[in-house]
Structures are given as C-alpha cells and as structure tokens.
Structure 1
Amino acid sequence: MKIKIILLIVTCVISATGWAQKGTDVYVDKDGIMRWGKTREEVRAFGVNYTAPFAFAYRTAQQQGIDLKKAIDDDVYHFARLGFDLYRVHVWDCEISDSVGNLLNNEHLELFDYMLKKMKDRGMKFMITPIAYWQNGWPAPDQKTPGFSFKYGKGDCLTNEGAIRAQENYLYQFLNHVNPHTGLAYKNDPDIIAFEVSNEPHHGEPAPKVTAFIKRMVTAMKKTGSKKPVFYNISHSIHLADAYFDAGIQGGTFQWYPTGLGSNHELGGNLLPNVDNYIIPFAANPGFKKIAKLVYEFDAADVGRSYIYPAMARSFRTAGMQIATQFAYDPTYMADVNTEYGTHYMNLVYTPQKALSLKIAGEVFRHVPLYKSYGRYPANATFGDFSVSYEQDLAQMVTPTKFYYTNNTRTTPPAVDKLEEIAGWGNSPVVQYNGTGAYFLDRVAPGVWRLEVLPDAVWIDDPFSKASPSKKMAVVHARAWPVNIQLPDLKDGYTVQGMNAGNAFSAVAAGTSFTVTPGTYLLTRKGATTGDLNVRLHHNIGLREFAAPGTSVKQSYVLHKPMASATEGGALAVEATVVTATVPDAVELSVYGKHWKPEVIRMEAGSGYTYRATIAASFLQAGTLRYYITVRTAGKAVTYPGAIPRGATDWDFYGTPYTVPVLPAKSPVYLFTASDESKLSRNWTPGTSLMPLAEPGRVELVVPIKKLFEVDPENRQGKEVHDYSMRYHFTGQVTGRQSDMTNATRIVFRGRTGDATPLPVQIALILRDGSAYGATVSVDVRTGDYSLALADLKPVSVVTLPRPYPSFLPYYFIPSSVSKFSLEQAETLQISIGPGITGAGLESSHTLVVESVRLE
C-alpha cells in the first residue's frame, strides 16, 4: 500500500511539473508562466542581442584583423559586469546552412559555439532563434550566401514548399548540433532554456495555413526529442493570434521600439510617456493566457540619455514578460563608429551611462513582481527600489546592499555600511569621480573592495547620425582623475593595489581619495586581510580581470554649438567639450565687442571634459555676437571653429567665428521653422517637400496627408484614430531667449493649407512632465499668421511620437495627472491635424503647409 502511495505522489509530481521532469530545466505551467524545473520558481532573465560571429560584425572584425575570440571574451566579460544573465540572437541561417537546410559546420557556427561556452562560464542562459530570414549585408550591401533564406527570401520561406522543407531540415539539424566547446547538443544544453522558431515572420496568409506552417516548424524541433519550450513571434499580424495559439507553441515573443527607428539624429525631450505602458490588445484571449511571454528585442532607438530603460523594464513586467533582451550590444571593436545598427547604440565602454541604465533594467526584471502595476507616469517614476528622472537624466537602484546610478545623484543609500555593490557614473554621496567612464565597486571581504574604472568616453558626433567606418562617433581616453570613496568599510588611509595585467599602481589613499587611471584595483582597509586573490565574484568575475581599449584620442576636439539666438542685455553662458591628449594649460573664449581686438575670457573646467564661461551682458547688443575658443597646450594654441593652429589674438590669425544673432528684447521667439524639418518627429508621407520661398533663407514644409486613418496591416482590428501629428523638441532653439519666452503671451502658427476650405490645426506645447496644452486654429488657403493666446490653451492629448513599434501600442499617452501650465516647463511643440475635423473631413485628404511657429 505504501509503495502505491509513493508511486501516486511521484506521478502527480511528474504531471504537475510538465516539461521539468522530461529532460529540461524550464517548463511552462498552466497559467503561462515559465518556471525552473528544480525549484518551480518563476524564470526572470535579462540581457542583450550580440552578433559578433555573424554578418557585418564578423566582416568588420576580419577587415580590422581582430581576434574575434579575444573580442568575444572581452565583451562577454562586460556582460557579466553589467549583470546580464540571458543572451538571445537570431542566428544568421543564411551563413550556416545550404539551400536545402543542411547545417554547415563553418567558422560562423564555431564562433557561435565558442561564444555560448564563454557565456555559460559567466552563468548566462540562452533563448536562441535559429532562423533570421535576414541576409548578411546590413548596413552594407548583401553578400551571396549559401542558405535557404538567401535563395527564397522571407516571403517564400513562409509559403514555398521547398523552402518549408529546407527549414524543417535545418531546425532538426540545428537542435541536434553538438557544441564542440561544451560536448552538448543544443537540444540537451540545460542553459538553452527556449527556442524561438524564427525572427519576425510577418504572415499574410489565411489562418489555417499559418497554423499549419508553425506546426510543421514545431514538429521538426520536437522530433529531435527536445522538450524545451518553443516560442513564436505573435506581435506581428496580430489578427492571426488564434492561429498562433492553435499551433502547439508554448510561448509568444514580442519586441518594443517605443521611439521608432532610424530618426538619424538623437531624439530630445521627455520620452518616458512613450514607455509608460506596454498594452497587448489580445491579452484577454484565453490562448494567450496559457503561453509564456518574452521580449526578443527592445530598445529606445536614437535616445542617447540614461533614464529610460528601467521604465521600459517596469512596463514589460506589468505586461507579463519574463525575459527581455536589448537589441543590440555593439562589439567594442566597432563601437566607436556605431556602424552595425546606427539607430541603436549600446556598449559599456562607449555608452557607459546607457549601459548602467540597462544594468538597472535587469534588476527591475529580477525584483518587480510579474503583472505588478505602478500606475501612470509621472506618478510611477519611483517604483520599488527604483527611480527614473528625465529632468536629471538619472536612473537609480537603491537597496541596503546595492547602489546603482547612471548620473550624478544626491541620493544617500539607506545603509552605507551594508553595501556590497556599487555601479555608477559621476558623483554620489559615496563616490566622487569626474571622469566620464563607468566604475564598479564590489565588496570582496570585510575591509576589502575591488574597484574597476573604465576609460572616459566622449561622443564627438551625434552617434545616431549617418554612420560610416570612416566616421568616428566616440573616443575613449585613459586619463587620470581623482576619486574619493567614502565607505565606512574602508575608512581613511586604505591601501590601493593595481590588479589587472600591467597595472603596478600602489598607493595609500590620502584620507579617502587617490588618483586613478582605468583598470582594476584592490582597496584594503588598515588591518584587513585580503585573503585568496583567486576568489571569483558574482557572474564569475575574477579580481584581476579587465577589458577596455586604449586611448583613442589622436587629435584635439572642441565640441560646441552656439545658441540659435540670444536676447540683448542678458549675460550668455558658453559651454564646450574639450578633449585633448593631455590636459590643456588653458581654454580661452575670445569675444568681439565694440573694439576690433577680442576680449579674452578664461573658461573654467567643469566635470569631465566640460569648460564654461559667461559672456557679460555688455557684449550682447542687438546684432551678431562673435567669438572663438582657443585651446592652449604645451605652448601651442589651436583655435575653433576650424582648428586653426594659432591663438585668436595672434596678428596672423585667420578663421570664421562662432556667431549668435542677438535680438532686441521682446522679439518673437521661434520654436520651429521649416528649415528644421529633418528633426521633426512624424510619420513620413509621400509628396512631402521642403519648398524655398522667394525671400532668401525662407522655406516652407508641405505635408500632404492622404488619409487621417488607414488600416494597419499589422493590426487590422486596431482602433480608428483620425489624426496626423508632428513633434519638434525646441529646447536648443530657445536657450538664449528665456526672458522673452517667459514674457510671451501668444503662440503664432505661420502657414497655409492646400485644402479648398480652412483646415483646423491643433497647436500644443508639451511640458517636461508629459502634460500638454493646446488649442485649434483655422488655417486658410493663404499664407498668414494664426494666433492663439497662451491663456486660452487647455489640456490636450499627447501623441506618442516617434510612433512606437509594434504599431498596436497606444497612440496617445494618458498621464497620471496634468500639471499646471507653465511656459518655463514647455520644451516640445506638437502640431496635429484631426482635432476639430468632423464628418466627411475625417475621411478626406488634407495638405498642411508650415513655415514657422513662434511665441510673442
């Protein structure tokens, strides 16, 4: 009897744990939650996509003579440093298969296997997508490759019988492939926790055919004996949701590009409204509730700031996502030019603040409960142990043992004496450091800490502008900086010992400070015992490990953009980023006033490579302000703009100065002119043109709109929204005009319509917290000024621009509350066609011609 009871219990356990007892470490329970087979705990994992073994990244390494295995070692070390515990990639099947789906054991596959082994050594797990459907060219032209995807293309791969058979063959061989570096077939590797069939299939066939196709793919994978969950992309063609759920998959994959893709410039303004909520239209579908959910790709594309990723992670957790991987981490050997995916930019060395933000986002996945909601922005800017601030460009995680921050912060950890890990950039109550690289502090033992400092990173161009291997976006500098570490566990006079290869630095801190260069160091309190120096930290990090490129500053850089305009009678602050191989002896501002000879003002060094000076009000008279910036180093002078090898006051100096138009007080403040069109966030429409006007320097933007609403083929049941909106972040245009802006009473739209009758146009100002105030003007067929009193503006809806992808995500942002209107808080202009239009006008075409928008 006892034996029968035991057998019954065992049978129940096997039934309850599903996948777990059938040879895999992960299973999906009846509620659609992935769980670890041994503990039944919820799977929570976070990481990146990374493409070094394939395509353009591989070719770039070959062209540069890079040892790819060494490069992979270094980047995987940085993954560990950032706390990533999962890796995903769509494998370039076109490079490792032939036209009938046979797996090719070539260098691409061997490098991939090597990389997986190195990630396993760091404790990382994997979700692999065997089929990409991508060719291998981007961003360069495609090459001829042997695979089935190259032969058939994505469309035919989904419908052509020969292509389908090739995919079945390939999937079967891929899962059976034995990694020579681990001795494990992919189907048996416990660290590969799931497979996604293919990358973004975009089905257009009837539902039964879609279901049949997916079933064939799933069957080919299960035929290998694999019991791992199989996922399929369900965020495209969402009208086919039931077809996906009926196909035998255990999970669905999603992506999120909340700021669109390919703006070709860094986006400004508060973009937290764009990531406030990840709403899935079919979330109530019974089939959806039974499958697991993960995010195979996400990024805030073209966003250079560090505040946004933890907010995205929070929204993912609220939506039920258990795994998320950013797309895509730039291999360090090519991150200085950002050529692989120019709209994305992620690397610990070259984008340190963004990388730390991603580290914090990973902690959000590990700490925020699944489906937990924190309400709407701005009320949800603080959630649990986390906070995000657009105004400070700051993301933070603060717990008794961990303190992570992406920018200067005044936050004091609740228990400094209990801290175990610190990761940061800039200054905090615990660490003061003016370098521009990331740093990490890890407690090794009582009174013993490991410090790692990465080299300074400086963006010398907009990294989201048009990329080229010949165009550097960023440089790194191994410059020495003072660091002040205030930890009760170290106290005054701790010893400092260099640890990484070639680092023989040894010193005693002066109080709590010393001068540091990039590397790893052991900090030891007086009387403390260092212990075993071969000890491994979290993610298998060794005390002596370090990976970073050397200094790449081969010339001087002065990065400065003069203000668009200024108001007479007010002082003007001038700021520049000055990067030189050695610290400059002096940086000077040479300003031309009433006399032919300029007045020289010494610029003072700020944090990092920033220099500042103030031009007195006496120089700001109506007209044109002219000035130069001169950098003096080792007796030599170089003057900008133009890098002229002379001082601005030398008799033989030549050059063209920086200029700022100085306008009389109470002059209009232009928020937007048509010449700024390239930085206007909007959906492009056919026929858009920038037309010159007869008056030199003036242009108008012609925007034809075929329909205010068109059915989205990716979301055919989506709600009808009759609206076409454009957004422009104008902070850079008005910085020198604050007094005139504050005193403005009206907002004026100048333009016309191409319609036969007047066109209602909503003009709105978006505040820093995402609140928006606007009103509608009736724009006639003749060019004219159309004015609104600022006092008459009312709260209006904010359109999430650039439009996010997937396109089923909300069109409008709904804040937790609307703040009081303040012109000082306004930073973004929104122009909308749709509000105020009724009847047949909603279905008609429209044309809006914009010349400018100004305050007066």
Structure 2
Amino acid sequence: MLVHTSQGQNSTGSRTDVTVDANGIMHWPDQTEVQGFGVNYTVPFAHAYRTAMRQGVDIKAEIDKDVYHFARLGFDAYRVHVWDTEICDSLGNLIENEHLELFDYMLMKMKERNMKFLITPIAFWDNGWPEPAEKTPGFANKYGKEDCLTNPDAIEAQANYLYQFLNHVNPYTGVAYKDDPDIVAFEVSNEPHHDESIEKVTAFVSKMVQAMKKTGCQKPIFYNVSHSIHLEDAYYAAGIDGGTFQWYPTGLGSGEEIGGNLLPNVDNYDIPFKAHEGFKKGAKVVYEFDAADVGRSYIYPAMARSFRTAGIQWATHFAYDPTYMAANNTEYDTHYMNLVYAPQKALSLKICSEVFHQVPVYADYGAYPANASFEAFRVSYEEDLAEMVTEDKFYYTNHTSTLPSNTKKLKEIAGFGNSAVVQYEGRGAYFLDQLEKGVWRLEVMPDAVWIDNLFGTNSPDKKLADIVWNTWPMTVQLPDLGKDFSIQGINTGNAVSGKAEGQTVAVSPGTYLISRKGKAVKWSAADTYKNIRLGEYTAPATTLEETVVLHSATQEVTAGTALEIEAEVVSASAPASVKILPNTWGAKTYDMQRTAGYSYAVTVPAEAVKAGYFSYYLLVETEEGTKTYPAGVMGAPKDWDFYQEATYTTRVVGEDSDLYLFDAARDFEELNWVWSSDVALLPSAEPAKSTLTLDMEQLPTNEDKSLMTDYSVRSYFGDVIGARAAALAGYTKLVLRGSSQRDTPVTVTLIGEDGSSFGATVTLGAEAKDYRLALADLKPTQLVTLPRPYPGFLPYYFERSAVVEQLDISRVESIQISIGGQETYQYSIESIRLTK
C-alpha cells in the first residue's frame, strides 16, 4: 500500500487531494481525518431521468431543491455509480450528452453546499430498472456485466473509458474530475462479481487502476472487496488504496414493511478478513447501505455506530428519492428516503451524519442493548426514536421525553413531534437555528402521510404518500426567546407576521424569523447561515385530493374488555365529525375524538364487546356529506340505498381462548427467511388451513459457498396479538401443531422486543398433532439475524450484551423456527399458539 504524495495543488501550491496513511486512515489536506456522510442520488441517469422527462419537470430545478434538502440534513458526502452505458460508446469513448451535463451541473450545485464526492465511473448495468432497458451505446450494453470482467475487448473499453472519464473537465467548474479537490476518491466499478483465478483478477483490477493513474490522478482509488470475498488477496495486490463495502442488514425486496426489533441485525459490522494486511492498510468506505423495507426511524444511527467501530470513514445511504417522484417510490421500491415524504427517516440520517463526525473511528460500545446509548446518541426501538443531545444541538426523530442539560445553550434543533423544547402536531420535520442571541430561523416542512404500502409493487399510477399543507400550533419553549416572541415569514409568498401567544404560534410550511420580544432583527431572507440562504424553502404543494382514512382493525380482543379504536383522518380541513357505527341492527354510534393532528380515538365499552365478531363502519362527515369507510363511498349504512358490505372486523374470543402466534395461512407471506424453492405454503387436508412446509436434501450455502448448519424462519406477531397482549402473562404452554415424514427436531424460539430469545426443541413425527412445551422450560437460545443481511458474510447469530435469564412473556413479539444438524430436513407446521 502506497502512501499518497499528491501532485494535486491549488493556486498557493498546497496539496488538495486526500491522502491515505500506513494505517488505512484517509486525511484531508490539513491532515485531519476524513469523515463523510451522505447519500446516493441518481437524477441525471436511467429511470430517474426518464421519469423527470415524462413529468415535464425542470430537472436542474429539481436537483436544486433536493440539494438544498441535503444541506438541511447536514450531508457532506455524495456517491453514485454513473450509468456508463449512457455516457460512452462500446469502445469506452466518453460521450458529452445531456446525462453527463446534468451530472456536472449536480456536482457543481453540491460543491456550493460544501459536499464532497466518491464517484464510481462504471455501473455495469443497463439503464432499465425498474423499466425495460433502452438500447444504449455503452460497452455495458454490448458485453453485459459478466463479460465486462473477462472479455479482452470489454476490458480495453473500460480502461479507455476510465482514462477519459477522469480527464473530463466539468464545464460548470472548469476543473477535470482527476483534479477536483472536492472529489475525495474514485471507486473503479460497482459490485463486480469475479469468478476467475487470483492472478487474473489482480491483472484486471490493476489494469483499471493504472488507466486511472495514467491521467495523473493522485486521489485514492478504491475497489469493491465485499463481493467475492475469497479474492481479497487479488484485490489488495492490485495497487488499490482501499476497499468499499455495503450493508443491507434487513435483506432486500421483502415486499412489505418488516416488523419487530431490528437493532440486533445492525449490532456489528464484522468483516471476516479484517486481519488481512491489505485490509488493515487500506482505507474503508461504505458506498451503499440501508435498512431496506423498514419505515421506522430508530435504526440508522446504530448502523452508523457499527460502521465507525469497523473503521469506516465515509458512508452514503442508498438511495435518496428525488422529490418529484417520491410519492410513487418507483425507482427502488425496497428503499424509501426523502426529507419531505419520509421526514422521520431523513432526520435519522441527519443524526447519522453527526455520528460520523463525533464518534471516533474504531470506537467500540459493546453489544445491544448496552450500546443503544453511545456518546451523545440514543436509539430506541420501543419508542421508534433516534436522538442526539449535545450542549448546543438537539435532534430527534419522534416524540421524546429527553431533557437537554441546559436549554439556554441550545443553538440547533431538528425534530419531529413533541419534545421538551418544541410541541408540534404536524407530520413534517422542523428546524430551529439560532442566528444570534434572541433571533432564530424556523423552517417547517409540510405533513407527510403514507397512504399505501411503500415497499410493494409500485407504479407511477399508484400514489403511496400524500403531502398536506396545514396550519398547526407550535409551542417553542426556549429561554432565549421567552414569551410573546415575534414571528415573520421570509420565504417567497409567506406573509405571516405576528406574535406568539405565550410561547405558541400557528405555523404553516415555510421559513420564518422568530425573535425575542423587543429584539431588533437585522436579518433578511437574502442573508446566509452556514450553507443556506435564510429565505430558501422548497416543498411540493398539497397533493391530497380527497379525505384519506388510515385504519386497521384490531385483529383479536377478549370478550368483555373495552376495545380501543384509533384512526387517522387526513383532510385539508378538520371533519365535522368522525364516528364508529357497529354493523348490528339498531346499534348506536360512537363519536371519535381528535387526540392530536389527524389522529382520532374512541373506546367501545366492554359491555358492547361480545364473543363473535365486532364489525363496524367508520363515518366521516365533511361539508360534502358523510362518507363511509372502508369502502370510501358517499352515504351512510342507514341510508335505504346503501349497498356497500365492506366493514372493519375484530375477532372477539373468550378469555380462555388460545392465542395464535403463528398461523401458516395467515403469516406465510410475511415470513423472514432465506429464500429456497424447498420451502412452500401448502393447503392442508382440513378446509381453510395451510402448512408451512420445508423439504430439503441439504441446507442452503453461505457467502463462502459452505453449507449452512442452521435454517431458520421468523414470523413477527406483535401486530397480530394486538389488544390481547395484556393477557400474555396468563398463558403457560407453547403448542406447535405439525408433523414430519421423518423424525425431525425443530427448535421454536420466542423473541422479545429487547432482543432476548428463549426456546426449546421438539421432535416432530409422522402424525399431525399438537406438540406441547411448558413456557417455564424455555431456555436462552441463539437468535438468528433475520432477514439475512447483504453481504451474507455478516454474523449469522446475534450475541446480546448480557444474557437474559428468564423469559418475559409479556414482551415477546416474534417467533423463530429452526432446524439443523441432520442429513435431510422436513417439516409441516400449521400453527404455533399459546394456551393456558
């Protein structure tokens, strides 16, 4: 590994390039450690570009808007795999076209916000996903990914392309990529999958590195070392300056949101070849990461912590949804990230940026749950909360009861919901920045409402989220502002001017100057704060076209207990009334009360909750009349011509009824598992029943092609048990109903919301019957990290910071079914339930 002696210089003759020292640490030209955090963002290319063209939007204006949001989120790093197939021909000659011009423009706009770049010139992909690919001129289209790694002509084309790409002069900056001080490094290509000898792979990588260095480039050059990990010798022998990594700890493409506590999945980014000399001397960056198919906000800072522990200096999330297409999430439906449309998740990334700049590299905070608090940071699955509290900054992704040590010293606040300093009913993010004592800038984003499954099969014709501009009260409790402070709108079109009533003001989306009573304000919209102008603001207009009701019925409740019913009724103006009408003859209606924002709730009294099924309608009255849900039609069930039969329904069972934690027919589609054609849902002989059936000659293979020694599936039941959760303590036995064609030991494990796991093993026989386990006999077991992460070399089992000695049945939320240690494997499981 060579230590850089950069030839890149600025006008004063000082070095401008990042260097890598003998310990694999990147340094800025002033010798401070490189610490970068940000996103991937794809607007100049492929589907994002085509979507913008179809919508007829001004692409450069859309880039401006999103880059402004990057600034608000504190991002200082950007990475993308360039779609080479769109900007070069089959010989690798660079084509100066609209894609490259937009890319150059975007880099210039990010440079204006002090962002830095890691650029991957080669993607290997066609430009289709998720659409059919177009016929593009590049070598990737001619050869395909596999041949690009082996075909001599394709290899020559890539070397030619890399040489020309690095020499390309950005017309907006007048600087070639190889010399741009804001380009930290280059990664040769995106996710190569080599399957040749070490000698051939070393020769390939070395040829790419030499083509780049031939330009005179002195920047670090990275190669992806997290694919084909058996070839680490080949990678580090090829003259690279470091390795790139990625992390999808919850897998990819689940099709729906994954439930349960996933902090065990992100507890440790353990690299199996970390003792390799090349690894230790090489710099380390994460080019892509995400907790895919997770809509919550608690998880990202824990990932950032694990990255820092592993020696990672730079990480970029994949991928930020361009705002103009975020309502449909068509680009990568397993991911979702946008400040306007996913405010809590975006705030979590803002906190990640702070983690990367505050947590020392290689700092180790132990295992979960002990590491849920580290330095100034805390993550909580139970609260769906990530937060950072320092002397002068307070960031949080959800309602929090945390008290900053001294609110008089706060200078930056970014949050969602309620805290000790801000109470707000809206559904958007907000930012408060102190400009000087007694004067603050307030920015409020509009409400974001998710109206459909974000992670399913998406389409431009399928809207998944709405943006709503509403006015909500905001209470700001800052000693620096006191009471009766002034507020003045400063973004274009914002004419708000007035005073707080006490510490409360009514705010709509926009930016404001707020100032202490009697304080003279000299700031204007044109003034700057850090890397933004005070009057800057961008957010889509209201997209809500009609009232939206978001409600899922409680699946099961015990007869004779009160039933809590909650719903969100999203509308441009508050409805006149929201009611529940049971679907029984002569039933009375129950008025729902607004609790906060769009949320409504009512308690159906215990005497009305009788064994059987509690079916009901939800009625929303507005100026247009009454609309009935779930059908969403005008009219009321008592109208003579009302014909819609759809209702919400809750099962009402007896106090002694068994509680089904897993039902194959109900839960198969949402199982977490390593996909195998040997696992299926099959109908059973009894009507309306099915079995989870596994029949394997051998277990699947690991990342290193060795056979797995365990095969587990997991089912989350936290949202299934619903109102019966309080009754969990009354159960004493766990019952598995199933069979096996041969005697098969199966381990059943109950997983707590704190990552604890307790289980026992039963041997299934040929007869389909109940197999009973006493809860008191369950012992601590190993918890498999499911869904399995990508890359697959990451830890298979979660090792908790401290073993929990006793099962707390009141806190269980998932069930794990495991097999292993045999020559063949077979079971059919219909259900797993708790019984008294």
> Aligned AA for 1:478?
W
Displacement, 1:536?
5.2
Report if aligned partners of 1:381, 1:389 keep a CA contact under 8 Å in 2: yes
Pick which of 259-268 and 659-668 moved more. Answer: 659-668
Which structure 2 residues correspond to residues 155-234 of structure 1 after superposition, within 5 A? 155-234=146-225
Displacement, 1:821?
1.1
Which structure 2 residues correspond to residues 39-78 of structure 1 after superposition, within 5 A? 39-78=30-69
Listed one character per residue, the Cα deviations across residues 756-806 of structure 1 (whole Å, up to 9, x for unaligned) are: x21000001000110100000111122111111101000000000000011
Partner of 1:830: 816
> Aligned AA for 2:41?
Y
Partner of 1:26: 18
What secondary structure is seen at the aligned counterpart in 1 of 2:178?
Answer: helix
What secondary structure is seen at the aligned counterpart in 1 of 2:580?
Answer: strand
CA distance in 2, matches of 1:535, 1:379: 46
Which structure 2 residues correspond to residues 370-409 of structure 1 after superposition, within 5 A? 370-409=361-400
Of 475, 479, 498, 1:484 maps to 475
Of 629, 633, 655, 1:665 maps to 655
CA distance in 2, matches of 1:88, 1:626: 51
Partner of 1:12: none
Which structure 2 residues correspond to residues 439-458 of structure 1 after superposition, within 5 A? 439-458=430-449
Partner of 1:91: 82
> Aligned AA for 2:810?
E
Task: Note the aligned Cα RMSD (angstroms).
Answer: 1.4
Pick which of 507-516 and 323-332 moved more. Answer: 507-516
Which structure 2 residues correspond to residues 161-560 of structure 1 after superposition, within 5 A? 161-533=152-524, 537=528, 539-560=530-551
Q: Is structure 2 residue 789 aligned with structure 1 residue 804?
A: yes
Report if aligned partners of 2:344, 2:398 keep a CA contact under 8 Å in 1: yes
Partner of 1:655: 644
Listed one character per residue, the Cα deviations across residues 600-641 of structure 1 (whole Å, up to 9, x for unaligned) are: 111111233221111111121111111111011126110101
Listed one character per residue, the Cα deviations across residues 40-72 of structure 1 (whole Å, up to 9, x for unaligned) are: 111000000000010000000011111100100
CA distance in 1, matches of 2:350, 2:380: 16
What secondary structure is seen at the aligned counterpart in 2 of 1:606?
Answer: strand
Q: TM-score, normalised by structure 1?
A: 0.95
Q: Where do 5+ consecutive residues of structure 2 fail to align? A: 10-14
Give the 3 Å change call, closer, same or farther, for CA 16–671 of structure 1 in structure 2.
closer
CA distance in 1, matches of 2:21, 2:526: 38
Partner of 1:846: 825
Displacement, 1:649?
3.8
CA distance in 2, matches of 1:448, 1:564: 50
Give the 3 Å change call, closer, same or farther, for CA 53–424 of structure 1 in structure 2.
same
CA distance in 2, matches of 1:262, 1:703: 22
CA distance in 1, matches of 2:346, 2:731: 40
What secondary structure is seen at the aligned counterpart in 1 of 2:569?
Answer: strand
Displacement, 1:19?
3.1
Pick which of 614-623 and 682-691 moved more. Answer: 682-691
> Aligned AA for 2:819?
I
Listed one character per residue, the Cα deviations across residues 485-535 of structure 1 (whole Å, up to 9, x for unaligned) are: 111111111111111111111111111111111000110112323224266
Partner of 2:106: 115
Of 762, 774, 779, 2:747 maps to 762
Listed one character per residue, the Cα deviations across residues 365-414 of structure 1 (whole Å, up to 9, x for unaligned) are: 00000000000000000000000000000000000110000000011111
CA distance in 2, matches of 1:195, 1:311: 27
CA distance in 1, matches of 2:403, 2:717: 34
Partner of 1:3: none
What secondary structure is seen at the aligned counterpart in 1 of 2:200?
Answer: helix
Report if aligned partners of 1:234, 1:252 keep a CA contact under 8 Å in 2: yes
Displacement, 1:348?
0.3
Pick which of 46-55 and 736-745 moved more. Answer: 736-745
Listed one character per residue, the Cα deviations across residues 270-317 of structure 1 (whole Å, up to 9, x for unaligned) are: 000000000011111111111100000000000110000000000000
What secondary structure is seen at the aligned counterpart in 2 of 1:576?
Answer: strand
Displacement, 1:552?
0.5
Displacement, 1:556?
1.5
Partner of 1:732: 719
CA distance in 2, matches of 1:29, 1:608: 53
What secondary structure is seen at the aligned counterpart in 2 of 1:18?
Answer: coil
What secondary structure is seen at the aligned counterpart in 2 of 1:72?
Answer: helix
Partner of 2:12: none
Partner of 2:631: 642
Q: TM-score, normalised by structure 2?
A: 0.97
> Aligned AA for 2:132?
P
Displacement, 1:539?
4.7
Report if aligned partners of 2:408, 2:479 keep a CA contact under 8 Å in 1: yes
Displacement, 1:736?
2.5
Listed one character per residue, the Cα deviations across residues 473-494 of structure 1 (whole Å, up to 9, x for unaligned) are: 1101001100001111111111
Runs (4+) of structure 1 moved beyond 4 Å?
Answer: 20-23, 534-539
Report sequence identity in percent: 58
CA distance in 1, matches of 2:44, 2:694: 44
CA distance in 2, matches of 1:699, 1:536: 66
Of 600, 604, 609, 1:611 maps to 600
Q: Is structure 2 residue 739 aligned with structure 1 residue 748?
A: no
Listed one character per residue, the Cα deviations across residues 234-273 of structure 1 (whole Å, up to 9, x for unaligned) are: 0011111011110000010000000000000001100000
The size of the alignment, in residue pairs, is: 826
Report if aligned partners of 2:525, 2:536 keep a CA contact under 8 Å in 1: no
> Aligned AA for 1:849?
S
Listed one character per residue, the Cα deviations across residues 426-459 of structure 1 (whole Å, up to 9, x for unaligned) are: 0001000010000000111111100000000010
Listed one character per residue, the Cα deviations across residues 728-762 of structure 1 (whole Å, up to 9, x for unaligned) are: 110111113235432111111111123xx210000
Q: Where do 5+ consecutive residues of structure 1 fail to align? A: 1-14
> Aligned AA for 1:254?
F
Q: Is structure 2 residue 807 aligned with structure 1 residue 817?
A: no
What secondary structure is seen at the aligned counterpart in 1 of 2:49?
Answer: helix
Q: Is structure 2 residue 689 aligned with structure 1 residue 703?
A: no
> Aligned AA for 1:618?
E
Displacement, 1:659?
1.4
Report if aligned partners of 2:490, 2:525 keep a CA contact under 8 Å in 1: no
Listed one character per residue, the Cα deviations across residues 302-357 of structure 1 (whole Å, up to 9, x for unaligned) are: 01100000000000000000000000000001101111000000000000000000
> Aligned AA for 1:633?
T
Q: Is structure 2 residue 754 aligned with structure 1 residue 775?
A: no
Q: Is structure 2 residue 661 aligned with structure 1 residue 674?
A: no
Which structure 2 residues correspond to residues 561-576 of structure 1 after superposition, within 5 A? 561-576=552-567
Give the 3 Å change call, closer, same or farther, for CA 97–667 of structure 1 in structure 2.
same
CA distance in 2, matches of 1:825, 1:343: 29
CA distance in 1, matches of 2:750, 2:525: 58
Give the 3 Å change call, closer, same or farther, for CA 16–766 of structure 1 in structure 2.
closer
Report if aligned partners of 1:123, 1:539 keep a CA contact under 8 Å in 2: no
CA distance in 2, matches of 1:759, 1:687: 16
